[in-house]
Amino acid sequence: MKRIILIVSSVLLLFIAFSTWRLLGSATAFQREKYDLYIRTGMNFDQLMALMEKDTVLKSPAFFSWVAARMDYKENVKAGKYEIRKGMGLLSIIRMLHNGRQTPVHFTIAKLRTREGLAGMVGRKFECDSLSMLHFSGNKDSLSAFGVDSNTFMTLIMPNTYTYFWNTTPSAILKKMQAFSNAWWTPERIHLAEEKGFTPVQAYILASIVEEETNVPADKGNIASVYINRLAKGMKLAADPTIKYAMRDFEMKHIYFNTLKFESPYNTYIHAGLPPGPICTPSEQTLEAVLHAPTTDYLFFAAKPDFTGTSFAATFKEHLENANAYRKELHTQEAIRDSLAAAKNGGARPNRPDTAKTGKKVRPSKPVKKKHH
């Protein structure tokens, strides 16, 4: 009898040890460091098992299913992104999935120009596809809750890194962005905008133009002052970046005379005032430059001939001198590049259009008069 008891006890201990090993020991079958499991909204347990078997995630799918049933997981599948690390035990995996302990998604926005650009980023990072976000961001009823329309929609977005879950909806994505934006617009910053004659939305729109005009931090405040002065005098902004935005040609190197007539509410050569919405998401630095723009008499600006920054002018005559100096140096540099290219191509020089307004700051920065070009 003792022998039988000993044998039964040994078998029982072996079974317990084996079960513990199966539950707590490595249950993963993949070789890489981790496997990202994406459980789509509405996916049931059978679909989940089919996915994990297809990707060879588990050593024993059958044992996983057996344990999942006893842990009441089969009827409690939760959507989300879950990181299964190499060597994780079966019990740890099921507990993670059962409790919905998702892996966060870090969503970094630097500079965006369009709703389509945002929608594309969302589609690559979240369960909702790009079309869902694009539809949401263009839907009047959806946007009314945020106090914006399809033109001002992008003013909700401040460049930042946001943390979400993979199955976050478009509405929830935007709510977090708006909360960050609202927190950024402190009473002090709102007051600074009002002192310039702007609402936060208008300040954001102006900052988006300044953002596209220069990458030189020291020039941003003065460029903002140029546009503020033009608005105060009733002049058109005549901002080249708004042409690029209107035409959706962000790689445009030259602004032609005929493009200045391109019909769009965003074309500030033909429409007075600010455009109806931002042309990009400006950095916090650029927003601060607008809010703290110095008081100047500048109405024009052009690139410096040494390409180190921007020259500013209060009169059109002075501006033409600056622009011509830049144009002369630019043509000299182009001639040098053409000569080098010709030497490589057996003497053939590249064709350059004579009617191009070369470079974004060569323009007179006021309604164009052909006699100046």
Which residue spans within 242-287 are E strands per DSSP?
Answer: 254-256
Alpha helices in the chain (DSSP H): 2-24, 45-54, 61-70, 90-99, 115-125, 130-138, 140-144, 170-184, 187-195, 200-213, 217-233, 240-247, 284-291, 316-344
User: Same structural domain for residues 84 and 179?
Assistant: no
Q: Which residues contact 25 (CB under 8 A, 6 or more apart)?
A: 89
User: Same domain, yes or no, for 353 and 208?
Assistant: yes
Same domain flag for 175 and 291: no
For residues 170 and 179, give the distance between their C-alpha atoms in angstroms, rounded to a whole number. Answer: 14
* Residue 108, C-beta contacts closer than 8 angstroms, at least 6 positions apart: 160, 161, 162
List of residues 6+ apart from 192 with CB closer than 8 A: 291, 292
Domain match, 288 and 357 both: yes
Instruction: Look at residue 26 in the predicted model and tell me its pLDDT.
Output: 85
Angle at 341 between CA 335 and CA 346, to 5 degrees: 120
**Phi, psi for 311 (deg, rounded to 5):** -100, 140
Closest listed residue to residue 164, CA positions, set 107, 100, 99: 107
Last residue of a domain, one of 99, 126, 144: 99
Same domain, 276 and 316: yes
Is 169 found in the same domain as 289?
no
> Does residue 178 share a domain with residue 191?
no
Determine phi and psi for 90, rounding to 5 degrees: -60, -40
| Whole-number pLDDT of residue 334 | 77
109 in a structural domain: yes
Residues 332 and 192 in one domain: yes
Q: Would you state the pLDDT for residue 5? A: 56
Q: Among 161, 183, 205, where does a domain finish?
A: 183
pLDDT at 3: 56
Place of tokens 């043509």: 331
Distance linking the first and last C-alpha atoms of the chain: 111
| Closest of 70, 64, 68 to residue 28, by C-alpha | 64
Report how many domains make up the chain.
3
Q: What is the pLDDT of residue 1?
A: 62
Do 72 and 52 lie in one domain? The reply is yes
Show the low-confidence residues of the chain (pLDDT under 70).
1-25, 346-373
pLDDT at res. 238 = 96
How far lies 362's CA from each of 12, 217, 313, 324, 372, in Å? Answer: 87, 20, 13, 8, 11
Do 358 and 294 share a structural domain?
yes
Residue 231 contacts by C-beta under 8 Å, 6 or more apart in sequence?
197, 237, 273, 274
Q: What tens digit of pLDDT does each residue of 207-248 get?
A: 999 999 999 999 999 999 999 999 999 999 999 999 999 999
Boundary of a domain, candidates 99, 118, 138: 99
Residue 160's domain spans which residues?
105-183
- Which are the contacts of 151, defined by CB distance < 8 A and separation ≥ 6? 276, 277
Q: Is the dihedral of CA 73, 74, 79, 84 positive or negative?
A: positive
179 plus 297 within the same structural domain: no
Q: Are 156 and 178 in contact (CB under 8 A)?
A: yes
My answer on whether 231 and 144 are in the same domain is no
User: Which residues make Cβ contacts (< 8 Å) with residue 60, sequence separation at least 6?
Assistant: 22, 27, 90
**Phi and psi at residue 278, in whole multiples of 5°?**
-70, 155
